[in-house]
């Protein structure tokens, strides 16, 4: 059955969720190669209503990656392949969203970085806890927010139908929205309503640049299933949730919807 996301009508409720491409589908500049375009088009031929692309960053300053192959950055270099993909997908009646990310944060492997890893607050790196991540400054967050606007505008001009923000799995957005990682004292830290300022400001910036009718959705996990920073919980295990619990996850969903996410 058809379904709508914001004002966008999808022909059915089958969607391809975003997945990391590694260096298989994108080149060193971060753009889809012929194999990458064909990978997505094969799903269009199968009748999928919505495809959400691999995650892409909007800048490479706060978190300087050595190469764009594993986590592409939206620049003019990606316009051609995304425009080709959107045009072909629309011929099959499939809609295309691009997942935009604020970056890895503490989950970045130090080997892929040019500089010290960053996070919402001073936190140990996921891969090497002896490396302590630098807290992103307020000014850096504000600059990152602004970077989402032109990235979304470029994608919309390519014919992309919507944006999904990469808010799950402990990446940088998730580090800002979750108290276990976010101990900030500026406007981006504190109670849940304040921790959501970062993604909500990004939403507002995208809508300002491409219009209120352009769909923007947010992906996050309802619950983290974490006993601690480096300890996951097993099914059926009794433990105290260190990350987001279901109650906060539901409250977060309500707040995001009220803020205007589609």
Catalytic residue among 39, 40, 126, 171: 171
Read off φ and ψ for residue 140, nearest 5 degrees: -65, -40
Per-residue b/e over 181-194, b at no fewer than 16 CB within 10 Å? bbebeeebbeeeeb
Q: Is 188 a catalytic residue?
A: no
Rounded CA separation 261/255 (Å): 9
Q: Describe the crossing of helices 197-210 and 246-259 by its angle, rounded to 10 degrees.
A: 30
Rounded CA separation 82/86 (Å): 6
Quote the Cα angle for 66-170-187, to 5°: 95
Rg (CA), the chain: 18
HSE-up of residue 159 (Cα within 13 Å, Cβ side)? 15
For the residues of 210-254, what is the DSSP string, one character each?
H-TTS-EEEE--S---EEETTEEPPTT-----SS--HHHHHHHHH
Tokens encoding 2 = 């058809």
3-state SS of 137-152 is CHHHHHHHHHHHHHHH
Residue partners of 220: CB distance under 8 A and separation at least 6: 167, 168, 173, 174, 177, 249, 252
What residues are labeled active site?
171
């Amino acid at each position: 059955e058809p379904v709508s996301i914001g004002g966008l009508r999808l022909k059915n409720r089958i969607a391809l969720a975003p997945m990391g491409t590694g260096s298989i589908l994108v080149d060193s500049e971060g753009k889809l190669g012929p194999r990458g375009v064909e990978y997505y088009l094969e799903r269009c031929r199968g009748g999928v209503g919505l495809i959400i692309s691999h995650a892409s960053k909007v800048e490479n300053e706060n978190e300087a990656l050595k190469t764009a192959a594993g986590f592409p950055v939206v620049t003019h270099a990606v316009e051609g392949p995304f425009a080709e993909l959107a045009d072909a997908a629309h011929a099959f009646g499939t809609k295309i969203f691009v997942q935009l990310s604020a970056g890895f944060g503490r989950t970045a492997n130090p080997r892929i970085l040019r500089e010290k890893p960053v996070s919402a607050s001073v936190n140990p790196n996921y891969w090497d806890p002896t490396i302590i991540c630098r807290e992103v400054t307020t000014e850096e967050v504000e600059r990152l927010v602004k970077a989402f606007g032109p990235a979304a505008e470029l994608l919309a001009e390519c014919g992309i139908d919507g944006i999904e923000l990469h808010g799950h799995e402990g990446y940088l957005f998730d580090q800002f929205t979750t108290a276990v990682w976010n101990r900030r004292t500026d406007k981006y830290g504190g109670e849940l309503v304040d921790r959501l300022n970062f993604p909500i400001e990004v939403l507002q910036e995208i809508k300002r640049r491409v219009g209120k009718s352009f769909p923007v959705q947010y992906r996050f996990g309802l619950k983290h299933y974490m006993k601690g920073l480096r300890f996951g919980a097993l099914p059926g295990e009794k433990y105290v949730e260190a990350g987001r619990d279901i109650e906060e996850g539901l409250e977060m969903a309500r707040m995001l919807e009220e803020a205007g996410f589609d």
